[in-house]
Amino acid sequence: MNALGIPIQMKIAPPLDPDFIPAALANRAFQKAVAESGQGVPLAIAVERNDGLVSTYHTQVFAEGTKGAENNNFYVERLVKMLLWSRGGFRVYIGGPKSIGEYIKNAYKPDGLRAFDEKFMARVYERPFEVIVTDADKIPAAKESTHPIGRHLKGCRIGFDAGGSDRKVSAVIDGQAVYSEEVVWHPKVQTDPAYHYQEILTAMKTAAAHMPRVDAIGVSAAGIYINNRVMVASLFIKVPDDVFEKKVKNIFLDIQKEMGNVPLVVANDGDVTALAGAMELNDTNVLGIAMGTSEAGGYIDSHGNITGWLNELAFAPVDYNDAAMVDEWSGDFGCGVKYFSQDGVIKLAPAAGIVLDEKLTPAEKLKVVQELHLKGDQRAEQIFASIGVYLGYTLAHYADFYDIKHVLILGRVTSGPGGNLILEKARKVLEVEFPELAEKIKLHLPDEANRKVGQSIAAASLPEL
Categorize the per-residue pLDDT at 453 as very low, low, confident or very high, splitting at 50, 70 and 90: low
Measured from the Cβ of residue 60, the count of other Cβ atoms closer than 10 Å reads 17
Domain map of the chain by residue range?
Answer: 38-138, 147-465
Q: Which of 101-110, 165-174, 435-444 has the lowest mean pLDDT?
A: 165-174
What pLDDT, on a 0 to 100 scale, did the predictor assign at position 375?
97
Q: Residue 142 above 80 pLDDT? A: yes
Whether 452 has a pLDDT exceeding 70, the answer reads no
Mean pLDDT on 91-106: 98
| Most distant CA pair in the chain, distance | 72
Tell me the backbone φ, ψ of residue 369, rounded to 5 degrees.
-65, -40
Please give the full DSSP string across 161-186, using - where no structure is assigned: EE-SSEEEEEEEETTEEEEEEEEE--
Q: Residue 450 has what pLDDT?
A: 62
Residue 441 predicted with pLDDT over 70: yes
Q: Which helix (H) or strand (E) holds 129?
A: none
pLDDT at 449 over 80: no
Q: What is the DSSP letter of 331?
A: -
Are residues 222 and 164 in contact, defined by beta-carbon separation less than 8 angstroms? yes
Q: Evaluate whether 234 touches 293 at the Cβ level (below 8 Å).
A: yes
Please tell me the distance from the alpha carbon of residue 100 to that of residue 256, in angstroms, as a whole number: 48
Q: What is the pLDDT of residue 239?
A: 97
The model's pLDDT over 269-282, given as tens digits with 9 standing for 90+, comes to 888 888 888 888 88
* CA pair distance 17, 19, nearest whole angstrom: 5
pLDDT more than 70, % of the chain: 98
List pLDDT tens digits, range 33-68: 999 999 999 999 999 999 999 999 999 999 999 999
At residue 18, the pLDDT reads: 96
Mean pLDDT of 5-26: 96
CB 20 within 8 A of CB 14: yes
Per the prediction, the chain carries an average pLDDT of 94
The candidate with the shortest Cα–Cα distance to 208, out of 276, 271, 168, 158, is 158
| pLDDT over 60 at 451, yes or no | no
Inter-residue contact 253 to 229 (CB < 8 Å): yes
DSSP H or E stretch at residue 22: none
Contact 21, 8 (CB under 8 A): yes
pLDDT given for residue 223 in this prediction: 84
Does CATH number 3.30.420.40 belong to domain 147-465?
yes
Q: What is the pLDDT of residue 8?
A: 93
Closest CA to 418 of 326, 327, 348: 348
Closest C-alpha to 455, from 182, 255, 259, 200: 182
Q: How many residues does the chain have?
A: 465
**Residues 337 and 327 sit within 8 Å (Cβ to Cβ):** yes
What number of other Cβ atoms are within 10 A of residue 79's Cβ?
22
Give the model's confidence band at 454: pLDDT under 50 very low, under 70 low, under 90 confident, else very high.
Answer: low
Interacting residues of 246 by C-beta distance below 8 A, sequence separation 6+: none
d(CA 300, CA 290) in angstroms, rounded, equals 14
- How far apart, in Å, do the first and last CA atoms of the chain sit? 54
348-394 tens-digit pLDDT:
999 999 999 999 999 899 999 999 999 999 999 999 999 999 999 99
The CB density around residue 449, as the number of other CB atoms within 10 Å, is 11
**C-alpha–C-alpha distance, residues 92 and 118, integer Å:** 11
Neighbours of 107 (CB within 10 A): 19
Q: Which of 77-91, 175-189, 202-216 has the lowest mean pLDDT?
A: 175-189
Mean pLDDT of 425-444: 98
Confidence label for 252 from pLDDT (cuts 50, 70 and 90): very high
